[in-house]
Chain A
Amino acid sequence: MNVPMSWLKQYVDIDMDLKAFVDGMTLSGSKVEKIEELGKEITNVVAGKIIDVTKHPDADRLRVMKTDIGNGKVLQIVTAAQNVQLNDVVPVALNGATLADGLKIKSGKLRGIESQGMFCSVQELGFTPSQIPSAPEDGVYIFNTPIILGECVKPYFGLGEQVVEYEITSNRPDCFSILGIAREAAATFELKFNYPKIELKEIDEDVASMATVDIIEPELCPRYAAKIIKNVKVGPSPKWLQDRLTSVGLRPINNIVDITNYILLEFGQPMHAFDYDKLKGHQINVRKANAGETMVTLLGDEIELDDTMLVIADKTSPIALAGIMGGEYSKVTEETKVILLECATFDGYSIRQTSKKLGILSDSSKKFVKGLDPNTITDAIERAAQLINITGAGDVLKGTIDVYPLKREPLTISYDVDWINAFLGLDLFKSEMEEIFMRLGFEVDMLLNTVTIPTFRPDITIAADLAEEIARIYGYDKIPATLENATPTIGGKSSRQLSIDKIKDCLRMCGIYGALTYTIDSPKIFDKLNIEDTNAIKISNPLGEDFSILRTTTLNGMLNALSTNYNRRNLDVALYEIGKVFIPTSSLPDEVEKVTVGMYGKDVDFYSIKGIVEALVNHLSIDNVEYTRNTNIDFMHKGRCASLIINGKYVGFFGEVHPQVSKNYAIDTKVYVMELDLDSLVNSSSPNKVYMPLPKFPVSTRDIAIKVSSDVLVGDIEKIIKQRGGRLLVGVELFDVYTGERIDEGYKSVAYKLIFRADDKTLTDNEVQKVLNKILNGLSCLGATLRD
């Protein structure tokens, strides 16, 4: 909401400095977004009268003009402007002047003749010619009303005005008006609110017989009022009215439109003028459109209506889209003799729906969607008629047609001073609170402790609302900040949250960076990931295809992140993400949290990602872990993907991404990922660790290298070693796997360091050998033989 200070000052006597004013308004709830001074950059442009005109001796298109700029000063100005004549009064930019576009004017010679300034067009003062109706399409502006020579021209054009922009919250539709802001300013600074004096001259002809108004949908139109103006003279409105509109960026059009716009700004109440003679049957019917009915809007667009849309219709057809836009057919033109001025309230939600469906927004609809007070109409329509009087735009008929089926009554609620004080943490006297209520225009009954709330404040219905009014007018800044005097609670993270922290710690220690990716994906990822279109949950109103499904795997986000890095030539990248996937069910989807890691780099291979899985398992003290080959995942390398199994349950997969999939993400190197189920990890983590006494006796180690067929899995070998090794075997470390020249084809050599120890004695060679033999015996069933 833009409010020019001069307009505001018409209703409130503000005499503080602007900074103090805007700070105070912000602190009472009307947040000031911006202060703009119109034409701030323009300097040294004054009114001057052309008192002598001669031809330029050396240039046909130039003329030399003596210009009186008051106080006996006369300048010589050379101009190319063709539209100015002797005795014209024009804006003159003096030597040193600055114009709207920042152009600086300096004295100088034009074709050898001294020129001490420049005549200005409205463009040079920052306007388009259509904003200033009296301006010529092209050429220098010529004043058509008296102005003192030598005086700064800015006020004449409404420049120099300070316009303050307020952010109005949606609970305060009343503040989308100059009067609303004035009322707030008065309450904030304890100033007198000078409500406009409305006096009206009406001709002795009654409005009642002229037209009928029938509201068929009172829920959507609680009030409809109309006045009729005869002997209408459509023409430009007076300058003060035009200036008011230009100061907030509205273009003056003609007196009738300008008056409705003025009321829109002053009261926040939209109005519309119909050409009375075009209304068939002189009827106004506020009804829903019939499906398929059409109407041509003021802008000349033909629109098709449906039966949810509220229209203003005459006897036969819609003449306006209620609250949104008038129709072409019934609009006011220069031929209009009689007008019907509409001032009505429409339901905001209905206006919003219609406006959205048809894609039509207007200054009116923007106001109505906020929900207006029908009681504003009483004054607004009278004020409009008063302006018709003042501007001589026509004769106002006596009375108002006012149909008001759903009357909005003021609400009376009681206030409890102690409760408000306790709720806010304040200690105000009853009288202080009552004074604030009165400043806000509430009627206070100090005996019953009740306030009656004006109908333009529908936001106030309960005690907490009254508390807010007290707080904001008293000042949020003056309420002391306290620490709760309440029951203590014990804060902290749950064990699950602590486990998640542990997972993040571990991944960080592995050199992996935290990443965050979008949880909404495009269906295109199914192709990229080489998987069937799963029945991923679809967003019914997506922004576009790219964000239209809820992800069922975190892989797309991770691969995108790796791809970004790869394509920016970042070597060696490892990222993790903890985030959800969404699995459809018959009601709310299952939200499953995943721990995802993705990496590529010089020394990265399958065992790097497996090392991370092992580190996690170890860090979380998870026992009973198995790794099995996994060939089921289409976006993974068939020979290099494993499942993590904990307590016999599948927890997730890890390994190398299918080369084609990496290519789909424009990554030309091997990529390794894991996607593990977070809660399975967390739930298998054993939080209670028990101290194991440090061994008292030394270990004995034996290195063995065995020869087995290449297809024997190392996992199976280790299983047997551990099983056979029993209690005395305390460590098994794989240190070499070899295939090549020095071993028969189809075989590999697997070398282990085996560590033996007893808790109660130092093991003898014999004892170690016995266990070792047992192990070797066991391994022979895999066809393994000891290498030399």
Chain B
Amino acid sequence: MKEKLESIKSSALYSIEQAKDLKALEELRIKYSGKKGELTTFLREMKNLSKEQRPIIGQLANETRELIEDKIKHTKIILEKKQEDKKLLDEIIDITLPGKAVAQGKLHPLEQTLEQLCDIFIGMGYEIISGKEVETAYYNFDALNLGPTHPARDEQDTFYITEDLVLRTATSPVQVHTMENQPLPIRMIAPGKVYRSDEVDATHSPVFHQLEGLVVDKDITFGDLKGVLAEFAKQFFGDKVEVKFRPHYFPFTEPSAEVDVTCVMCQGEGCSVCKGEGFIEILGCGMVHPKVLEMAGIDPNVYQGFAFGMGLERLTMLKYNINDLRLFYENDIRFLSQF
């Protein structure tokens, strides 16, 4: 009897293991544990056993039944999962087909540059101040130490509305208004549209965008100006950028400087963008001219300051390797969607 039980057990476990699908498994269940199954029959035949043998074989038989039933249950789970997987595989789709379009707008690339600059300078404690695009000649020129005979006032450079009203040629008038009206210390940037009498071409536009900054406080040094702009350059162009300050001249700052950074195209190797110099000019800056402070009612013996100005178009063109300024004003969606 014992041998018979063993043989049922091993053949059952083996064939269950081999069952290919749920149907085969069900057949095996019937074959072994069904009403007329081998194990059921065996259990039924136990009554013929001796009294001594019955509990021993009985226990063995029960264990075998549990074993087989467990095995069936377990195999069923596996086969069910297999069947489910197979069904899912039949639902295969081409995942390389494009996704469903989601309407997605973006900031204009110049707005994106402006946002980035605002973030950088806000982080350093600057406010953002905007001003009028039509200004008096006083605020556009005189208050910035560009006297009545200065060439920048020529009609060939500046758009005039009347003799005394101009389209601002820089956002600097905003700085003058701020110095006149706001309590010190001042830390501000003035972004906005500016106007110059330039025909439209790949690098010029009669309307373009500038961002100027101004700091006025006690104990401001030229070294601080270097520090702030080096930090700006790092944040905007990346940590590796090298910053070079070159002496320059602006009527409204003294000392004045132009700032060059490692060419973004060639990383300083020299290319057509930097004309082989490895550096490109990105902005002008300097210590606010004492006369400018004085005209705005600030005592230059007590307060100093620095100012800087940069073109958003130029920065953006450098950043994305854009070679034609006109693209910014065409607003072709294929251009706008690239940034």
Are A and B part of the same complex? Answer: yes
* A781 on interface, CB distance cutoff 8 Å: no
Shortest C-beta distance, B114 to chain A (Å), equals 10
Shortest C-beta distance, B220 to chain A (Å), equals 6
Shortest C-beta distance, B146 to chain A (Å), equals 11
Residue contact A26 to B246, C-beta cutoff 8 Å: yes
In Å, the complex CA distance between A487 and B220 comes to 10
**Chain B binding surface, main DSSP class:** mixed
List, in ascending order, chain B residues with CB within 8 A of A550's CB.
134, 161, 167
Contact mask for chain B residues 137-161; partner A; CB cutoff 8 A; 1 contact, 0 none: 0000000000001010011000111
In Å, the complex CA distance between A564 and B161 comes to 30
The answer to whether residues A570 and B334 also contact, given A514-B111, A541-B155 and a CB cut-off of 8 A, is: yes
B227 closest partner in A (C-beta): A481
Stretch at the interface among B11-19, B24-32, B264-272, B324-332: B324-332
* B52 on interface, CB distance cutoff 8 Å: no
The answer to whether residues A482 and B221 also contact, given A471-B255, A591-B134 and a CB cut-off of 8 A, is: yes
Q: Which of A464, A489, A589 contacts B290 (CB 8 A)?
A: A464
In Å, the complex CA distance between A477 and B257 comes to 11
A501 closest partner in B (C-beta): B115
Contact mask for chain A residues 497-516; partner B; CB cutoff 8 A; 1 contact, 0 none: 10000001001111111111
Q: Which of B217, B249, B287, B329 contacts A464 (CB 8 A)?
A: B287
Shortest C-beta distance, A419 to chain B (Å), equals 9
List, in ascending order, chain B residues with CB within 8 A of A481's CB.
223, 226-227, 230
Q: Tell me the chain B residues, 287-339 only, with Cβ under 8 Å from chain A.
A: 287, 289-290, 304, 328-334, 336-337
List, in ascending order, chain B residues with CB within 8 A of A513's CB.
105-106, 108, 331, 333, 336-337
List, in ascending order, chain A residues with CB within 8 A of B254's CB.
462, 464-465, 467-468
List, in ascending order, chain A residues with CB within 8 A of B218's CB.
486-487
* A483 on interface, CB distance cutoff 8 Å: yes
A492 closest partner in B (C-beta): B122
* B60 on interface, CB distance cutoff 8 Å: no
Residue contact A539 to B160, C-beta cutoff 8 Å: yes
Residue contact A541 to B331, C-beta cutoff 8 Å: no
* A568 on interface, CB distance cutoff 8 Å: yes
* A424 on interface, CB distance cutoff 8 Å: yes
Count of residues in B whose CB is under 8 Å from the partner chain: 82
The answer to whether residues A483 and B224 also contact, given A507-B105, A518-B206 and a CB cut-off of 8 A, is: yes
Q: Tell me the chain B residues, 89-138 only, with Cβ under 8 Å from chain A.
A: 102-108, 110-111, 118, 121-128, 132-136
In Å, the complex CA distance between A27 and B244 comes to 9
Residue contact A484 to B224, C-beta cutoff 8 Å: yes
The answer to whether residues A422 and B219 also contact, given A517-B329, A574-B105 and a CB cut-off of 8 A, is: yes
* B237 on interface, CB distance cutoff 8 Å: no
Residue contact A589 to B134, C-beta cutoff 8 Å: yes
Residue contact B127 to A541, C-beta cutoff 8 Å: no
A570 closest partner in B (C-beta): B333
Contact mask for chain B residues 226-264; partner A; CB cutoff 8 A; 1 contact, 0 none: 111011000000000000111111000011111000000
Contact mask for chain A residues 409-453; partner B; CB cutoff 8 A; 1 contact, 0 none: 000000000000011111000000000000000000000000000
Stretch at the interface among A99-107, A144-152, A166-174: A166-174
* A485 on interface, CB distance cutoff 8 Å: yes
In Å, the complex CA distance between A424 and B144 comes to 21
Q: Tell me the chain B residues, 199-221 only, with Cβ under 8 Å from chain A.
A: 199, 206-207, 209, 215, 217-221
* A349 on interface, CB distance cutoff 8 Å: yes
Residues in A lying within 8 Å of B, measured CB to CB: 26-29, 31, 169-172, 348-349, 352, 356, 369, 422-426, 459, 462-465, 467-468, 471-472, 476-477, 479-494, 497, 504, 507-520, 537-543, 547, 550, 561, 564-565, 568, 570, 573-576, 579-580, 582, 588-589, 591
Lowest 6 CB-CB distances: which A-B pairs, in order?
Answer: A511-B103, A425-B223, A468-B255, A425-B221, A29-B247, A169-B249
Q: 9 A-B contacts, Cβ less than 8 Å apart?
A: A468-B247, A487-B217, A491-B122, A494-B128, A514-B105, A537-B134, A540-B161, A541-B155, A579-B193
